[in-house]
Amino acid sequence: MHGRYTPFFFVGPGLLLLGIFFAYPLLDTLWLSLHRYNIFTAPVFIGFDNFRRAWGDELFWRVLANTLLYAAIVVPALVVLSFFMALLLDNSLRLIKIFRTLYYIPVVTSIVVAGIIWKWLYNSDGLINAVLKGYGIIGPSWLADARGVPEAFLGLFGIQTESVWFTEPAIALFSVAMVTIWKAAPYYMIIYLAGLQGIPIALKEAARIDGAGGWQVIRHVIIPTIKPYTLVVSIIATIAALRTFGEVYVMTGGGPFHRTNLLSYYIYTLGFKYLEVGYAAAVSVFLLAIILIFAIINFRLAGGDNTTGGA
C-alpha cells in the first residue's frame, strides 16, 4: 500500500534528533568508559581499567549501596501509598474529583521548587521541627544528619546502640526519599486509578453479595485483579529511583559524608567536578546496565513486543 521509503520519511526527523542528542552521546559514553579522559587532552585507551577502579573504589560501593537502599525505601512506599490513594479516589463524589486534581500538583511542580520548599521545611528550625517541638521532641537537622533512622528512633527512648544494623538508612537519605515519595505518589496513583476503573463493578458486587467485607473485597478481588498495574508501577518507580538526580542536587549535594550521594549524582560530580570523564562513563555504563534490566522487564510487561500491525 505504500512506497518503500514512505515509513522512513515519517520516522526520519524524529530519529535524526534522537540520533544526535541521544544515541551518539550514549555510544560515546560506552567508548569513553574504556579511556582515560579529562576533556583537555585526547582520550587514552586503557581497556577495562576504569571498571577495575570502580571495583576498588570505596566511595563507589557506598554510593551504590545508597542508591539501592533509596530504591528499597521509595518503591514499596510508592506502590502502597499510590494504591491506597487511588482506592480512596475511585468514586465519583464531587469533592473527590477536586481532590484528584489537588493531589496531582506535586507531580507537575519542578524538582527545584520542591527542593527549595522541602529544604526549608526540613531546616533544623523549620516548620517540621517547630511542630515536633510542640510535642516535646527535638527534631534532627533532617538533611544533614548522618545517624541511622533506627538508631535515632531508639535514641528517642533513651536506648543507645552501637550495632551496625541500626545505622542505615541515614536520616538524611530517608528525608530525601520522603520528598521523592511526596512528589511521585500522585503520578502512580493515576496509573492505579485507571486500573481500578477498569475493574467491572459486577465483580466487586458479586464478592460483596457473597458476604465479603470492604477489606476482603480489596484483598481478594481488587489486589489480584490489579496486579499488572502493580508490576508496571513498581518497575517504573524502580527505574525512576535508580536515576534520581534532582533531589540530591538541590537539597544535599550528596552529603553528609556521602550518605545521600546516589549513582546519578556521583557520575555528575566525577565528570564535571573532577573531570574524570572516563571513570564517570564507566560508572554510567554500570548504572545503565542495571536500568536496562528493569527497562527490558518493563518493555515486556507493557506489551511492546507486539509492534507490527496495521495497513
Partner 1 sequence: MRVKTQAKIRTWLAYGLGGTFVFALVLPLIWVVTTSVRPLSEMTQTPPLIFPRSITFDAYVDLWDTGPFAKYFINSVVISFSTALIALIFSICAAYAFARFRFKGATLLLMVVVMSQMLPGSSILIPLFQVIRAMGLLDTHVGMVLIYTGFAIPFCTWLLNGYFRAIPVDLEQAALIDGCNRLELLYMIILPLAAPAIVAVGTFAFLLSWNEFLFAFVFTKSQALTIPVGLRAAFLGQYVNKYDQLFAASLIFSLPPIALFVGLQRYFVQGLTAGAVKE
Name the grid cell of 300. 515486556
Q: List C-alpha distances in Å: 84 to 26, 193, 196, 215, 235.
A: 38, 10, 11, 12, 18
Determine, following the binding rule CB under 8 A, whether residue 113 of this chain makes contact with partner 1: yes
Determine, following the binding rule CB under 8 A, whether residue 274 of this chain makes contact with partner 1: no
Q: What is the DSSP code string of 32-100? A: HTTEE--SSS--EE-TTHHHHHHHH-HHHHHHHHHHHHHHHHHHHHHHHHHHHHHHHH-S--HHHHHHH
Determine, following the binding rule CB under 8 A, whether residue 280 of this chain makes contact with partner 1: yes
Q: Quickly tell me which residue has 571498571 as its cell.
A: 51
Choose one: 40-48, 142-150, 153-161, 228-236; the region binding partner 1 (CB under 8 A): 228-236
- What is the size of the binding site for partner 1 (CB under 8 A)? 101
Binders in 13-52 for partner 1, by CB under 8 A: 13-15, 17-18, 20-26, 28-29, 32, 39
Cα(27)–Cα(21) distance, integer angstroms: 11
Determine, following the binding rule CB under 8 A, whether residue 101 of this chain makes contact with partner 1: yes
Determine, following the binding rule CB under 8 A, whether residue 310 of this chain makes contact with partner 1: yes
Determine, following the binding rule CB under 8 A, whether residue 229 of this chain makes contact with partner 1: yes
Residue 140: which of 155, 119, 124, 127 has the closest Cα?
124
| Closer residue to partner 1, CB minimum distance, 224 or 310 | 310
Half-sphere exposure of 150 (CA within 13 A, CB side): 9
| Closer residue to partner 1, CB minimum distance, 11 or 65 | 11
Choose one: 47-55, 137-145, 157-165, 262-270; the region binding partner 1 (CB under 8 A): 262-270
Binders in 168-197 for partner 1, by CB under 8 A: 182, 185-186, 190-191, 193-195
Determine, following the binding rule CB under 8 A, whether residue 140 of this chain makes contact with partner 1: no
Counted residue by residue, the chain has a size of 311
Cα(224)–Cα(166) distance, integer angstroms: 35
Shortest distance, position 102 Cβ to partner 1, whole Å: 5
Shortest distance, position 26 Cβ to partner 1, whole Å: 6
Determine, following the binding rule CB under 8 A, whether residue 272 of this chain makes contact with partner 1: yes
